[in-house]
Structure 1
Amino acid sequence: MQFKDPANQSFASLSPAVWRASTVVFDNFEDFINRKSRQPDGYSYGITGTPTSRQLERRVAELENARHCVVLPSGQAALMTAVMAFVRGGDHLLISDSCYGALKTFARKWLSQMGVEVEFYPPTIDAGIEALIRPNTRMICLEAPGTVTMEMQDVAAIVATAKKYGVKTMMDNTWASPLYYRPLDQGIDLSIEAATKMFGGHSDLLMGTISLNDADDYAILRETQSILGQNTSPEDCFLVLRGLDTFALRLQHQSASTREVAAWLAEQPQIEQVLFPVLESDPGHAIWKQQFSGNGCLFSFIFKPAAEGAISAFFNALQHFPIGASWGGTHSLIAYYPASQQQARAFTPTQEAIIRISIGLEDADLLIADLQQALEAWQQSAG
């Protein structure tokens, strides 16, 4: 793809231009007076975007098979903005208990104080969600698999129920990405991606995207993005555009390595359970196999009961897994989620501590060897 200077068609580059702007200027008085009519696609003020962000929105929309896309300054911002655009006081909001923690906190501590009836539902309720629908149910928030506990949701069954009652649906699809699952093709109204993860791919930026097909909803989202001041840096948009050039190759490699590492880990005697829907032993495997065409680079596992210091010994022995709470970049990462966090949930598949792993571009054998020696350190401290 070539990017041309609109003022000089003799110049073309393989790299997109970085258009910086807070102020947009106009050719004449009439254009300025009618500047609001340029939205949702045009340019009226820097906060609603520049040609750089529009280029990224078009690229993401193509990936999602969407008509429209809005980029926001983080995946978290995308989730909050998607809800704020359409949910009002007096509405009923259904959120999967395995959704991203910040979304649940926002709903519990803010939306509920604004008159929204917030209800968390079991991630595996599937078609049973019909029993939770009320006359004022406005939106259902999904994530498949769950952020930490990796529960799969029967998206098709939930969408069918939502369509039946005219309820809007929003899905965080960051794990599978549009390469392995396209929510809009399955009837989801708003597809959310944390572009921080696989789209950017290098752990050096924050961004989120909302993709959709309905033109009226798109206008509402663009207005909400503007009113909330959710501007995205053109430099970060450039980096995500660059990341998208290698996205498919990175995901293919990371997905294969993730399957290899997860399968190996599931066979180790120190491990109680690997939470990864790709494994046939996982409760969500049948849904994943039926509805998804591939897997992300993230999975979790649970240790068998052991002495208190065993998990610390495991983490401190690792040499190729930095400890960090993000994922999706070129470097592998590992994170810890204490038992208390699971026990505080209304609907949880485990009461135990969870270790979450993101697989990067390193050689799978190297990562397995590192986990092996860390498991030995765990064993020595397990008691």
Structure 2
Amino acid sequence: MSVPPPAPNSAPNSAPNSAPNPAPPADARPTLRWTEAGHDGRPVEHLARWCSASAATPPDRVVVADDRTTAAAAHRLARAGQALLWRGDYHNARQLLRALGRRVAAAEPPATTWAAHRAARARRATLLGRLLVPLDGAGRVALRRGPDTAAACAEAWGPPDGRTAVTPLPELLGAIGAHEWRRRGVPVAALGGARVHPHHGVFSPVRGEYVDLAATAPLPAAAREGGALDLGTGTGVLAAVLARRGIRHVTATDHDPRAVACARENLARLGLAGRVTVHHADLYPPHRRAGLVVCNPPWLPERPNSPLDHAVYDPEGRMLHGFLAGLTDHLTPGGEGWLILSDLAEHLGLRSRHHLLAAFDAAGLRVVDRLDTRPTHRRTEDATDPLHRARSAEVTSLWRLAPEP
């Protein structure tokens, strides 16, 4: 699931790739500069590779903090725009981050709208992202009791280049969590409990209801011979479900090289590499028609704040409208398009049902059927969530679409 910028197609599916993400050239990587006292007390200028998967820019002002730094002082400095480079114990840094989070939450007024909620989250991310931790030349945390994060950092930011590095602590924790998900995998009921292993920055299929819709919707007869396309494949989970349902060949696409590598690895692990071809492409592969085209675009038509938001936000519905506009030209006779979409955007006031149906009409499509399911994640029952009303009303649908006769 992704919102692509134009990208060239790649070679067909290849052997599984479990290597770290490729690194940009060393001179293209941003650098953090700061000054701190040396062993003799004199100021020393330091340079380090800046690591941020969210594309945060290196801070201009950096002060050194350690176990003596209180949460009140850290909060005051962060609010003043100062970044804090941690030189104390790693676990104390995590405790300080939690304390900062409580202070940031207490200072925010209750969010009553989606815009206010998103703005508050952005402010929180900015403030908490000012707590920085150093990494050694191999990508390990260079602090007392610091964990070995070499593999997690390589997966998030590419192989180390031998230079010391600095990253915001929240991003480091995100990289560690993503590494554990990739290592353990996510069980998928629609695949008989087989596990799908998401890579860093690739949407994880933890919300299984949308996968279950693709596993149970009636297949059009044209898909048996004409195959299927899975647009914005992400981990490759929907392509795997379609192949397991008996479709002879599935072509999956994604604009994100991480997702392409992730899908290829998962499909090889599931024994489906010979039946699913993964391409690096902007939505539709060229000169390809199929009896079924499946698309599960990001559900919120908002502009992402960072590269990691692309799996959730589809600015101005670009991917949604691209799928609809190209569907007729990529279907074989008797084929269908499956649009898997939550109505959360409707409950948040970001898109109306009328807008969606009008988009179908504008693309010359009719609704063959609609299958609905409700999410089962815990947030639907959390009355303290500012978005509880919208989440509790959310319905995820699989729209079966076909060209107007």
Q: TM-score range by the shorter chain?
A: under 0.3
Whose Rg is larger?
Answer: 2
Q: What TM-score does the superposition give when structure 1 sets the normalisation length?
A: 0.27
Q: What TM-score does the superposition give when structure 2 sets the normalisation length?
A: 0.26
